[in-house]
């Protein structure tokens, strides 16, 4: 069955981060999302959906990517996205749009867990919350206990255990929610292949790099 990978294009919600970049904040947002989408597109046979705030333009002229309005990243918004994706058959994974540095094999591992029998898979954020969350099928109880991105998935895990569904936990990772995260991302990209996060690198290398002390 075809897996669906949903990228949340709602990054730069932090006021300090957006203020530091000013007009260039939109360029940074688009770069982060585009590079994250490139990672999702590496999954052979996967269906990629970009859920974005209709008020923010997302420049993605790709025939193999579906754009979908994102009402909110609260539990009901996440549940709506996953429900629609799971209705098409196959597992579904939702991930932040601020992960241009995420190793592609982390997505493959998530889908492998779901294909092998896990009912739920998630990747914990280095802070509270998660950077990736996936379901094998549309279990109503699981959809009702989904956490917002900044929330701990404890209720979801308990619901899965109540249904006797295995839960797989990926290694921790981080998204870009403030200037400290952006500094960490800049440092990490310096040790990664130049083919990774090309657009984000270009933005950070330009005038906007002054916002992070570059």
pLDDT value, residue 154: 96
What is the residue range of 13's domain?
4-212
Range from 32-46, 50-64, 99-113, 179-193 carrying the lowest mean pLDDT:
50-64
pLDDT value, residue 73: 73
CB 185 within 8 A of CB 200: yes
Q: What is the mean pLDDT of residues 195-203?
A: 91
pLDDT value, residue 11: 61
The pTM (predicted TM-score) of the whole model is 0.90
Q: Distances in Å between the alpha carbon of 125 and those of 32, 43, 57, 151, 198? A: 17, 22, 26, 10, 23
Q: How many domains does the chain have?
A: 1
Q: Distances in Å between the alpha carbon of 12 and those of 7, 97, 130? A: 14, 10, 16
The larger pLDDT score, comparing residue 92 to residue 210, is at 92
- Confidence band (pLDDT; 50, 70, 90) for 59? low
CATH at 177: 3.90.550.10
């Amino acid at each position: 069955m075809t897996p669906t990978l949903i990228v949340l294009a709602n990054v730069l919600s932090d006021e300090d981060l957006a203020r530091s970049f000013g007009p260039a904040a939109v360029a940074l947002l688009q770069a982060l999302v585009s590079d994250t989408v490139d990672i999702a597109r590496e999954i052979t046979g996967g269906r990629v959906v970009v859920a974005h705030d209709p008020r923010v333009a997302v420049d993605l002229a790709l025939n193999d990517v579906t754009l979908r309005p994102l009402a909110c990243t609260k539990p009901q918004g996440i549940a709506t996205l996953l429900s629609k994706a799971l209705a098409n058959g196959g597992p579904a994974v939702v991930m932040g749009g601020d992960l241009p540095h995420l190793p592609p094999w982390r997505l493959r591992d998530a889908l492998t867990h779901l294909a092998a029998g896990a009912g739920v898979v998630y990747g914990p954020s280095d802070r509270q919350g998660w950077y990736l969350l996936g379901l094998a099928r549309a279990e109503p109880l699981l959809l009702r206990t989904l956490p917002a991105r900044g929330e701990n998935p404890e209720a979801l895990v308990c619901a899965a255990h109540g249904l006797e569904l295995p839960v797989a936990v990926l290694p921790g990772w981080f998204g870009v929610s403030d200037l400290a995260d952006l500094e960490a991302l800049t440092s990490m990209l310096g040790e990664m292949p130049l083919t990774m996060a090309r657009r984000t690198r270009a933005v950070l290398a330009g005038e906007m790099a002054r916002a992070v002390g570059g």
